[in-house]
């Protein structure tokens, strides 16, 4: 009749098959993750570029109104958030860009701020 396969051999084959199956499963997920990481890296780069262009709007307006802006390092996310939350010029611009101020109101507030910051001390 047929040859009897010992239990150890069956267990060994089962473990080898399980290892091969798990390796394929792991490689498929790892390849998928690698593709996602590449995509995420590209998207993150595009977001950084868009954020930089948004900052450039504030820089351009600061130069136009002769108000110096000293942005923290672009890598300092917390510093940038604090800067935008505390700088009076940026607060005015954020209100304008969020359409809470008209262009005329924004210009008036900026001129008032400019007078306050350039007024001689003790005047």
pTM above 0.85, yes or no: no
- What would the pLDDT profile of 82-113 be if each residue is shown by its tens digit? 999 999 999 999 999 999 999 999 999 999 99
Distance CA 96, CA 92 (A): 6
Q: What is the pLDDT of residues 22-78, one digit of tens each?
A: 999 999 999 999 999 999 999 999 998 998 999 999 999 999 999 989 888 877 889
Contact 74, 52 (CB under 8 A): yes
- Give me the pLDDT at residue 120, please: 66
pLDDT of 8 reads: 93
Say how far residue 36 (Cα) sits from the centre of its chain. 17
Q: Break the chain into its structural domains and give their ranges.
A: 1-47, 65-123
Exposed, middle or buried, 92 (CB in 10 Å: 0-12/13-18/19+)? buried
Q: Rounded CA gap, 56 and 77, in Å?
A: 16
Q: Which two tokens stand for residue 43?
A: 């998207």
Q: What is the pLDDT of residue 53?
A: 93
């Amino acid at each position: 009749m047929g040859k009897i396969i010992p239990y150890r051999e069956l267990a060994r084959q089962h473990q080898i098959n399980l290892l091969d199956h798990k390796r394929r499963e792991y490689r498929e997920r790892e390849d998928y993750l690698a593709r996602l990481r590449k995509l995420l890296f590209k998207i993150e780069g595009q977001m950084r570029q868009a954020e930089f262009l948004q900052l450039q709007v504030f820089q351009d307006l600061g130069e136009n109104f002769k108000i110096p802006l000293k942005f923290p390092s672009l890598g300092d996310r917390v510093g940038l958030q604090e800067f935008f939350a505390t700088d009076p010029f940026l607060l005015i611009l954020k209100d304008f860009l969020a359409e809470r101020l008209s262009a005329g109101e924004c210009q008036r507030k900026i001129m008032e701020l400019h007078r306050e910051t350039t007024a001689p001390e003790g005047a």
